[in-house]
Structure 1
């Protein structure tokens, strides 16, 4: 059987993430070198040695440009970076965003908005671009599942958890971001829904009273998206409903009725993936 040869034109999933992070790192490095060029070399070196923030930026730029251990693999399209690297970049980028936003805000408060606007124009918008670049790194390195939901391939993504079901061997592999949680027998897994919201079939339209042109009461169907919105409603504390994947193995002593993971239904995609997973587990 002929195999498809990978070429540079057909890059593996995750290559775009690596390219975007390196591009941001090169832009930040170029701007930093440009700022140092405006100063004397000895003064720049003294300022870098005496500034802890400059050392943090050096480490951040090194990790962002070289990305040690990063590799685009088709099996994990959303996680081409090692876990330690993703967390380190996210932390440094968050600190950089706070520092940049605080510096810009303090300057605007002391000099006034008119002078701040003039400074933005004089720096070609860099005062606003720098916080945006740090925020972009935080967003790119956010917690995600390994892949998108693909019901036909029995792959489900709920929050930062990814579930792969193999109907032939009746096994389920669960991943938390890039870390493998474990491999389980599909017949020993079940989905527990909050407030009895678990339905193995799509919600049917609910009849509601409606009035026609003659003023007589009739019936109208409430769209299914109304029911979906209700299932994603927050509680009184503003928290999303959570589902649990339970493992109940009679053969594993001490592991009966264990929670594999607990995830919040933050989006409609999470809800659809959770219902599809529930249906697939019941059909195994």
Structure 2
């Protein structure tokens, strides 16, 4: 069978994430060089040497622009970055966001809101754009599953966990972000619902996967408890349990525990529960 040749118009999933991070890095670098150009070269170099924050920014910009080890792969569309790089960028960006917000807030508190607004206009909005760029890096590098839920392909995304079920071999592979948790026999796995079902919502009917709708999107509600948010705004949770009679010392182990933050997580959890019951 002829394979689809990837072109510039048909980029691999994850290429947009790499492009966005490098674009943010180039914008931060251009602004930094512009600020240094307005100062004396010797004074700017001495200030960089004596400032730990400048060294942190240099490391952050290097990682953000060059992205060592980043590669867009179709098998992990939401994780083109190595785990260490994603965590490092998230940490540096969070520190940069806190520093930028603190600097702008301290200046506005000491100089007043009128002078602060004049400073924002004089810098063409950079005092507000810089924290937004750091926050964008934190959001892009947030914990995510490897893929979106695709019920027809037996792929489920619940929080930062991704589950792939192979009905032919009856095996399940679980991923925590980009790290492989393990491979299990599907008949030894079960879903435990940590929240009680809603009393006013009847159980949804079981729907066969052959009529589950288009790939990649949820179909009708599947056979599982209808979850309601607990007291004090607590989100319902599920646990994926592994009960293997043949594995000594591994009976009734928790593979992962995840909160159902979105409706997509709830649909994926119901679909995974129904799929494991049908294996």
The TM-score with structure 1 as length reference comes to 0.88
* CA deviation after TM superposition for structure 1 residue 240, in Å: 1.0
* CA deviation after TM superposition for structure 1 residue 217, in Å: 43
> Is the contact made by 2:201 and 2:226 (CA closer than 8 Å) also made in structure 1?
no
* CA deviation after TM superposition for structure 1 residue 7, in Å: 1.2
Task: State how far apart, in whole Å, the 2-side matches of 1:181 and 1:213 are.
Answer: 31
* CA deviation after TM superposition for structure 1 residue 233, in Å: 4.1
* CA deviation after TM superposition for structure 1 residue 3, in Å: 1.3
> What SS does the corresponding residue of 2:143 show, helix, strand or coil?
coil
Once the two structures are superposed, residues 113-158 of structure 1 have per-residue CA deviations (whole angstroms, 9 ceiling, x without a partner) of: 1100000000000000000000000000000000000000000000
* CA deviation after TM superposition for structure 1 residue 102, in Å: 0.3
* CA deviation after TM superposition for structure 1 residue 195, in Å: 3.8
For residues 9 and 256 of structure 1, do their structure 2 counterparts lie closer, same or farther at Cα, with a shift above 3 Å needed?
A: same
* CA deviation after TM superposition for structure 1 residue 2, in Å: 1.3
For residues 50 and 209 of structure 1, do their structure 2 counterparts lie closer, same or farther at Cα, with a shift above 3 Å needed?
A: closer
Task: State how far apart, in whole Å, the 2-side matches of 1:209 and 1:72 are.
Answer: 35
Which of 260, 271, 276 lines up with 2:255 in the alignment?
Answer: 260
Once the two structures are superposed, residues 24-43 of structure 1 have per-residue CA deviations (whole angstroms, 9 ceiling, x without a partner) of: 00000000000000000000
Given the alignment of the two structures, is residue 233 of structure 1 paired with residue 228 of structure 2, yes or no? yes
For structure 2, the 5+ residue unaligned runs are none
For residues 105 and 68 of structure 1, do their structure 2 counterparts lie closer, same or farther at Cα, with a shift above 3 Å needed?
A: same
> Is the contact made by 1:79 and 1:178 (CA closer than 8 Å) also made in structure 2?
yes
Structure of greater Rg: 1
> What SS does the corresponding residue of 1:142 show, helix, strand or coil?
coil
Task: State how far apart, in whole Å, the 2-side matches of 1:249 and 1:67 are.
Answer: 41
For residues 47 and 170 of structure 1, do their structure 2 counterparts lie closer, same or farther at Cα, with a shift above 3 Å needed?
A: same
> Is the contact made by 1:232 and 1:266 (CA closer than 8 Å) also made in structure 2?
no
In the alignment, which residue of structure 2 is the partner of 1:134? Answer: 134
Q: CA RMSD in A?
A: 7.6
Task: State how far apart, in whole Å, the 2-side matches of 1:213 and 1:27 are.
Answer: 48
Task: State how far apart, in whole Å, the 2-side matches of 1:190 and 1:201 are.
Answer: 23
Task: State how far apart, in whole Å, the 1-side matches of 2:225 and 2:138 are.
Answer: 31
Moved more, 223-232 or 40-49: 223-232
> What SS does the corresponding residue of 1:76 show, helix, strand or coil?
coil
* CA deviation after TM superposition for structure 1 residue 239, in Å: 2.3
* CA deviation after TM superposition for structure 1 residue 208, in Å: 23
